[in-house]
Amino acid sequence: MDIHIEGLVKTYQSEGRTVRALDGIDLHIPANQIFTLLGPSGCGKTTLLRCIVGLETPDDGEIRIGDQVVWSGRKRIAVPPEKRGLGMVFQTYAIWPHMNVFDNVAYPLQVRGVRRTIIREKVHRALQFVQLEGLENRAATRLSGGQQQRVALARALVAEPKVILFDEPLSNLDAKLREETRKLLRRFLTELKITAVYVTHDRVEALALSDSIAVLNGGHIIERGNPQKIYFNADHRFVADFIGRANLVAATIQDQAPDATIVQSPLGVLRCQKRDFPAGTPVTLCIRPEFLRLSRPDPHGRADSSGSMTDTKSSNVIEGRLETLDFVGEVYEAEVRVGDQLLLARVDPGVPVAAGDAVRFMLAPEHGLLVME
């Protein structure tokens, strides 16, 4: 079931002024995808989710789920939440501590007066799907955080909703459990072939879970696309910066080559990813730390100190001085001074460098992303 949102506006009054939490949102969420609304706190993502489910009333616009208009200011339509055919998983899970697992999952069916035999069948199927079969009689207070999250998912699924919505459901889990649950959730939702709308401010969560991502800020959708597009080929500085760690360097378009755009920057003249900007256009050069291949300088252009061959003809070569080197597990994180610029890079533990060393790094043109404000 797909979702169409047109011209959606939601305002609040705060300290004597009007805040536009949603400022004319137009969005199509395809059926049977995991669609993530990503952005910082206060960007409007949760407000948008609550408007879809019916917990907030917009000021203007229209929301359509499948062929049904569930809210329209112009048509004066307002379908109540319980009649929109949606499931919801909240940040706090909303698990009732006085109920066991079975009753928590069965509750949506019990309040609708569904026959007990059908309830037992549906609850068993939902618990089996989220791998909690056998825990029907377990008290909710004896569940781990990950198990509570899966009970909440089973409860959302038991009524066979057309769409399921998630409001930062993993934020209360520790890092290891969050990673494990994220993988399970991705598998569950893919197998279900159901439309899922997922709200988060966690970029890793968004990249790992999503088929499509919409990045919001200030009540607007800044950009949307699949995770690879958003991470590797963003169009806006805000998106490139928010979605991952990045070195952002002011640059100016100098020329266009057949396979690259050439810019003037504090790092020198660089060949970058091909972008159709005219000469003289101010842009931001975005470089991910993982794409800076760092080594000691070699005046003869032979194999670098890490033992790999570097192609100086096709890649940019930038020289600087290593200021800091911090071990973070599988790699070192390094800060490299190039003139007035301090760049973050990742260094393989096998590269023999230390703080204070003169170093160089290679940057392939396709990894020099040029974005606008």
Right CATH for 245-371 from 3.10.450.50, 2.40.50.100, 2.30.30.170, 3.40.50.10540: 2.40.50.100
Where in the chain are the domains?
Answer: 3-239, 245-371
Non-local (6+) Cβ contacts of 361 within 8 A are 292, 293, 294, 295, 317, 318, 320, 336, 345
Rounded Cα distance between 314 and 247, Å, is 21
Q: What is the tens place of the pLDDT at every residue in 123-167?
A: 998 898 888 989 999 998 888 888 888 898 889 888 888 899 999
Q: Are residues 280 and 253 in contact, defined by beta-carbon separation less than 8 angstroms?
A: yes
Measured in degrees and rounded to the nearest 5, phi and psi for residue 283 equal -140, 175
What pLDDT, in 10s, does the model give residues 176-188? 878 888 888 888 8
Topology alike, domains 3-239 and 245-371: no
Given a cut of 50, is residue 279 above it in pLDDT? Answer: yes
* Domain 3-239 of CATH type 3.40.50.300: yes
What DSSP designation does 51 have? H
Average pLDDT in the 334-350 region?
92
Per-residue pLDDT at 307: 37
Sheet holding 332-338, edge to edge: 293-295, 358-363, 316-327, 332-338, 341-347
Cβ atoms within 10 Å, residue 337: 14
Q: How confident is the model at residue 299 (pLDDT cuts 50, 70, 90)?
A: low
Task: Indicate if the pLDDT at residue 226 is higher than 50.
Answer: yes
Could you tell me which residues come within 8 angstroms of residue 300 by beta carbon, excluding any fewer than 6 positions away? none
pLDDT tier, 303 (very low <50, low <70, confident <90, very high otherwise): very low
End-to-end CA distance of the chain: 35
Using the CB atoms, write b or e for 145-174: b if 16+ within 10 Å.
Answer: ebbbbbbbbbbbbbbebbbbbbbbbbeebe
Sort strands 195-200 and 34-38 into parallel, antiparallel or unpaired: parallel
| pLDDT of 310 higher than 50 | no
Q: Say which residues have a Cβ less than 8 Å from residue 305's Cβ, sequence separation at least 6.
A: 295, 296, 298, 351, 352, 353
Q: Is the pLDDT of residue 329 over 70?
A: yes
Rounded Cα–Cα distance for residues 31 and 216 (Å): 21
Which among 335, 355, 330, 337 is positioned nearest to 345, based on CA atoms? 335
262 within 8 A of 342, measured Cβ to Cβ? no
Tell me which of 62-71, 103-112, 278-287, 346-355 is least confident: 346-355
